[in-house]
Amino acid sequence: MNLKKLFGALLIASVAFAACKKTSTDEPIVDPVETILPEKIDSFKETAVIDLGGEFASEISAYDPSTKKLFVVSNDGGTKVDVVDMSAFPTVTKLKTLTFASNAGINSVAVSNGLLAIALDGADKQGNGDVVVLKTSDLSEVKKITVGAMPDMVTFSPDGNYILSANEGEPNDAYTVDPKGTISIINVKDNYSVKTIDFTSFESQKATLVAGGFRIYGPNASFAQDIEPEYIAVSTDSKKAYVTLQENNGVAEVDIVAGTITKINPLGTRDISLAENAWDVSDDEKSGKKIQLETWPIKAFYLPDAISYFTTGGTSYLALANEGDTRAWKGYDEEARVKSLKLDPTKFPTAATLQLDANLGRLTVSKAYGDADGDGDYDELYATGGRSLSILNANTGALVANIGKDLEQRVIDAGKYDDSRSDNKGVEVEGVTVAQVNGKTLAFIGMERVDMIAVYDVSVPASPKFVQLFATGDAPEGVLFVKPKDSPNGRSLLIVSNEADGTVRFFQPDKI
């Protein structure tokens, strides 16, 4: 190669390198392998499966590239983690089972730098829980850390320096014991020192937050007790965490290094009277009404479960899986059918028609909201779940896009819509992970009630584009993406843990 050609090659390489470096504190370093691997983004298909048992035998998974082991949460007949060997993929083999008999339940697993973190309930679910850290190589225990009540999700920061757990703090069934919802930040480099933080300092902002659609309503609960952290996503620079507060309809932002909660973003509601938000609301098969998306005089709290952080075009975003959830306990139950409520005759002049089973009659709504003037009848109706995937600007909290109507219509057109859930959560958007495949930013959306994954191209977050829809096992719970450089065969890999049939299924795209 002559000097001119050599200089040109070096210039191109340096420009490419610069394009992949951080341009702000929130932008990721994009691995060139992720963007140039020739894979067809709309061709994901099942390449392997393993059956780990019955219902609840496969809930959440974490993969360790250094040992090629998969760790799977199991609550099938005990508190367990199944260890699966993927070194001979697509042959996958169960190696052993880790048991935690003294803990009331297991909720989550995460892996980083040869370490496995396991989130466990305490002996009493309303008491403090544990995060147990093991070496992935020999499964020996490194540390056991006490965290808040009911650690529902655990994750590592991308740099591996911190472990975070979202401690949901659910009440007991009688609603007589309601622990505070908290977030625990574990400093790996500081001998696993832990700081557990709650939301007490935000009580003064309650009125403003509630006005924005934040839900604080548990009986006899303080502000901090009412908060229920669910799921965590961490920024690429490992400085910020974003935590869904599912029952509360919000997202909290956390300064990881300072160990403080910096703000709460209330999510507001989705207006189902608008054409772009149309729903199928009735599961009444006797009426002969076919499945169809229509507008209705209702609003819906988003109530997100899973959350995924991603960056594209120099801006950071959050993808929220708006599953919906309610407080339905013996001691307090917010759920009600529309037909059981007294509707304000001025606000709902056609109430008798609306309350027919073929219309809104059987739709589940929250009776904790809607009686604005306190006169005993409902002026508004609030459904419990957004039935969508929302994309927010991570810095401002502004809604950028909502994938809802198109998502459900795709499932309907495929003949996979479960009409028995029309009165509740629809397709039930449970999980989401956003990842790079062949240079495109893809959102993989898990839908629990229709047993499917939808793939959307969110490279331009304000304009998501449908890519693919494919079947999974029964009730997909955990959706995990493994980058080509980390996967056992050097190709993109989507791992789906299916709660109802106890299987883990593996999906890969075709090569181009």
Tokens of 212: 């924005």
Residue 57 near residue 76, CB atoms below 8 Å: yes
9: part of which helix (H) or strand (E)?
helix 3-20
Residue 423 near residue 358, CB atoms below 8 Å: no
CA distances from 142 to 17, 191, 496 (A): 37, 10, 28
Tokens of 236: 């690429």
Instruction: Indicate whether 42 pLDDT > 70.
Output: yes
Instruction: Indicate whether 34 pLDDT > 60.
Output: no
Q: pLDDT band at 31, cuts 50/70/90?
A: very low
Residue 61 near residue 52, CB atoms below 8 Å: no
For the chain, give every domain's residue range. Answer: 54-267+302-325+385-435
The Cα 250–Cα 474 span in angstroms is 29
The Cα 464–Cα 317 span in angstroms is 13
**Which pLDDT tens digit goes with each residue over 322-346?**
999 999 999 999 999 999 999 999 9
Instruction: Indicate whether 6 pLDDT > 60.
Output: no
- Average pLDDT of every residue of the chain: 93
Tokens of 478: 């955990």
**pLDDT reported for residue 11:** 36
Residue 445 near residue 432, CB atoms below 8 Å: yes
**Location of structure tokens 């109706």:** 381
Residue 32 near residue 17, CB atoms below 8 Å: no
**Location of structure tokens 């965590």:** 232
**Location of structure tokens 């949901």:** 168
**pLDDT reported for residue 37:** 86
Q: What is the mean predicted confidence (pLDDT) over 395-418?
A: 97
Q: What is the mean predicted confidence (pLDDT) over 168-177?
A: 98
Tokens of 276: 């772009």
Least confident segment among 11-20, 59-68, 88-97: 11-20
Instruction: Indicate whether 115 pLDDT > 50.
Output: yes
**Which pLDDT tens digit goes with each residue over 222-277?**
999 999 999 999 999 999 999 999 999 999 999 999 999 999 999 999 999 999 99
Give the pTM. Answer: 0.93
Q: pLDDT band at 289, cuts 50/70/90?
A: confident
- What proportion of the chain, given as a percentage, has pLDDT over 70? 92
The Cα 262–Cα 253 span in angstroms is 6
Residues 6+ apart with CB under 8 A from 1: 9
Nearest to 212 by CA among 262, 269, 283: 269
Residue 160 near residue 128, CB atoms below 8 Å: no
CA distances from 510 to 87, 434, 491, 507 (A): 20, 19, 9, 10
Residues 6+ apart with CB under 8 A from 506: 46, 47, 48, 49, 89, 90, 92, 493, 494, 495, 496
Least confident segment among 6-10, 201-205, 387-391: 6-10
Using only the alpha carbons of the chain, give its radius of gyration.
23
- What proportion of the chain, given as a percentage, has pLDDT over 90? 91
**pLDDT reported for residue 15:** 35
The Cα 46–Cα 48 span in angstroms is 6
Instruction: Indicate whether 488 pLDDT > 50.
Output: yes
Distance of alpha carbon 76 from its chain centroid, rounded? 22
Nearest to 261 by CA among 240, 275, 279: 240
Q: Between residues 309 and 288, which one has the greater pLDDT?
A: 309
**pLDDT reported for residue 36:** 65
The Cα 254–Cα 232 span in angstroms is 10
Tokens of 301: 């709290």
**Which pLDDT tens digit goes with each residue over 17-27?**
333 333 333 33
The Cα 426–Cα 341 span in angstroms is 21
User: For residues 146-164, b (16+ Cβ closer than 10 Å) or e, as one string?
Assistant: ebbbbbbbbbbbbeebbbb
- Write out the CATH class of domain 54-267+302-325+385-435: mainly beta
Residue 112 near residue 128, CB atoms below 8 Å: no
Sign of CA dihedral 459, 400, 281, 248: positive
Nearest to 30 by CA among 39, 20, 22, 38: 20
85: part of which helix (H) or strand (E)?
strand 80-88
Residue 130 near residue 147, CB atoms below 8 Å: yes
The Cα 325–Cα 247 span in angstroms is 6
Helix and strand element counts for the chain (H, E): 6, 33
The Cα 299–Cα 385 span in angstroms is 10
